[in-house]
Amino acid sequence: MFENTLAVILAGGHGSRLQPLTSDRAKPAVPFGGKYRIIDFTLANCMHSGLRRILVLTQYKSHSLQKHLRDGWSLFNPELGEYITAIPPQMRTGESWYGGTADAVYQNLYMLKRSGAEQVLVLSGDHIYRMDYAAMLRRHKEHSAGLTLACMEVPLEQAKQFGVISVDDTDRITRFEEKPENPTQAPGTEGLALASMGIYIFSMDLLLQVLEDDHQRENSSHDFGNDIIPMLIEQASVHAYRFGGKTGRVSPDRYWRDVGTLDSFYEANMGLLDPVPSLDLYQRDWPIRTYSSQYPPARTVPGKMGNEGLFINSMIAGGVVIVGGGVQHSILFPNVTIGENAFIHDSILFDGVEVGDGAELDRCIIDKGVKVPPGERIGLDPERDAARFTISEKGVVVVPKGYNFEQE
């Protein structure tokens, strides 16, 4: 079954709501959780699910993403027909970039046809979750479905952000609405709707046919949710697969997050610090793979004034050195240095950040390589912060990559 399945990961979106974190990198390449990139979660799901043929469709600012794939995910054997291949726009069907999720796949029909696969698993590369796709593939086969769509239960007030589906008693999809004003309540629930997760399994023949048909429609937005799925419900056997059940090897944590805004990204990271995190990163038979340089172990050392380096309820990556400073409820990526009497609270510091003596950071995201001067205060003076940095709707301060405090 798995050798006849091709996985296609959509990884070419702008990520405009994550600015400035996406100023120099694609959204799937944004760092997450102290050592990972967002796309690592989708790729790890593929690896653990037994999928060995994976296309990653890239587009905007893809250098960081392609470098990460090369350095961290060159683990399959091409001699056995296994691969993870990054595919930038080929413009085989015209001189245009990808114009929607369905168009991205359509522009790579050549790659799909030559794969010889019987089914295609279409995934997004910018969500945080763990899922055993093998269980979904088995369900797809059992139903002899043309399309199987992964879904999860969400509160009705949140369902307006998603594609919402209606099903019969066999979980065959009878209706699909993209971001409806009045979502349909899921049968047997109170105040919940079935929301699409953007995870699709198509039979190859059906996918090729429907993409060709959609390409000819002048009024189409060439999007799976807006155009392809509503059309297929009338034409083919379309079934729902409920995420977070007892099937598959992943513990049923039912965790899935679209980290498409600064606040959702920040909250998903901070959620990893909960006493019992909603996302279980510690399931030993389902590790999240990534690329990691060979840094020495993290350490705390006394400062010149004798203050001990301390961290409380935080995630500290390799190469971090806390020199007489304090870190509380924060996430520090590799090679971060915290100076004496500096205090970091509720913050995320990307690779190579240096925080000078006596600096204080609260509810911040500091991008890669930023050098925070001694005595600097960020996240404590909203008016001053707003004049220099990006501030999210909920007040998280984001210092961009390459910011130079000396030029203020």
CB atoms within 10 A of CB 181: 6
Instruction: Say whether both 15 and 125 belong to one domain.
Output: yes
Q: 279 lies in a domain?
A: no
What whole-number distance in Å separates Cα of residue 259 and Cα of residue 164?
A: 19
Over residues 43-67, the mean pLDDT reads 93
Instruction: Say whether both 220 and 71 belong to one domain.
Output: yes
Q: 294 lies in a domain?
A: no
- Model confidence at 95, pLDDT cuts 50, 70, 90, reads low
Is the Cβ–Cβ distance between 121 and 42 less than 8 Å? no
Q: 192 lies in a domain?
A: yes
Structure confidence at residue 320 (pLDDT): 98
pLDDT tens, position by position, 332-365: 999 999 999 999 999 999 999 999 999 999 999 9
Instruction: Say whether both 206 and 308 belong to one domain.
Output: no
Instruction: Say whether both 72 and 204 belong to one domain.
Output: yes
Residue 150's CATH number: 3.90.550.10
Q: 391 lies in a domain?
A: yes
Is residue 90 over pLDDT 80? no
Q: 288 lies in a domain?
A: no
330 vs 181, more confident: 330
pLDDT tens, position by position, 141-170: 999 999 999 999 999 988 888 889 999 988
Structure confidence at residue 94 (pLDDT): 63
Question: 30 burial class (0-12, 13-18, 19+ CB within 10 angstroms)?
Answer: buried
* Predicted TM-score of the model (pTM): 0.94
pLDDT tens, position by position, 365-394: 999 999 999 999 999 999 999 999 999 999
| 3-state DSSP of the chain | CHHHEEEEEEECCCCHHHCCCCCCCCHHHCEECCCEECHHHHHHHHHHCCCCEEEEEECCCCHHHHHHHHHHCCCCCHHHCCEEEEECCCCCCCCCCCCCHHHHHHCCHHHHHHHCCCEEEEEECCEEECCCHHHHHHHHHHCCCCEEEEEEEEEHHHHCCCEEEEECCCCEEEEEEECCCCCCCCCCCCCEEEEEEEEEEEEHHHHHHHHHHHHHCCCCCCCHHHHHHHHHHCCCCEEEEECCCCCCCCCCCCCEEECCCHHHHHHHHHHCCCCCCCCCCCCCCCCCCCCCCCCCCCEEECCCCCCCCEEECCEECCCCEEECCEEECCEECCCCEECCCCEEECCEECCCCEECCCCEEECEEECCCCEECCCCEECCCHHHHHHHCEECCCCCEEECCCCCHHHC
Q: Which amino acid is at 144?
A: S
Q: 290 lies in a domain?
A: no
Over residues 113-125, the mean pLDDT reads 93
- Model confidence at 259, pLDDT cuts 50, 70, 90, reads very high
Residues of the chain with pLDDT > 70, as a percent, come to: 96
Residue 375's CATH number: 2.160.10.10
Is residue 78 over pLDDT 90? no
Instruction: Say whether both 239 and 334 belong to one domain.
Output: no
Instruction: Say whether both 97 and 150 belong to one domain.
Output: yes
Instruction: Say whether both 13 and 144 belong to one domain.
Output: yes
Is residue 96 over pLDDT 80? no
Instruction: Say whether both 235 and 370 belong to one domain.
Output: no
Structure confidence at residue 1 (pLDDT): 56
Q: Name the domain boundary from 220, 253, 271.
A: 271
Is residue 65 over pLDDT 90? yes
Instruction: Say whether both 153 and 235 belong to one domain.
Output: yes
What whole-number distance in Å separates Cα of residue 223 and Cα of residue 277?
A: 34
What whole-number distance in Å separates Cα of residue 153 and Cα of residue 193?
A: 5
pLDDT tens, position by position, 261-292: 999 999 999 999 999 888 888 888 889 999 98
Instruction: Say whether both 258 and 317 belong to one domain.
Output: no
The number of folded domains in the chain is: 2
Over residues 239-247, the mean pLDDT reads 84
Residue in this structure with the two tokens 């020199």, named with its chain if needed: 323
Is residue 246 over pLDDT 90? no
Instruction: Say whether both 62 and 164 belong to one domain.
Output: yes
Candidates 352, 330, 327; CA nearest to 342 is: 327
Q: How far is it between the farthest Cα atoms of the chain?
A: 74
Structure confidence at residue 11 (pLDDT): 93
Residues of the chain with pLDDT > 90, as a percent, come to: 67
Instruction: Say whether both 313 and 179 belong to one domain.
Output: no
Is residue 92 over pLDDT 70? no
Range of the domain at 355: 299-407
188 vs 28, more confident: 28
Q: 91 lies in a domain?
A: yes
Question: 2 burial class (0-12, 13-18, 19+ CB within 10 angstroms)?
Answer: middle
Is the Cβ–Cβ distance between 36 and 128 less than 8 Å? no
Q: How far is CA 258 from the centre of its chain?
A: 7
Q: 77 lies in a domain?
A: yes
- Model confidence at 251, pLDDT cuts 50, 70, 90, reads low
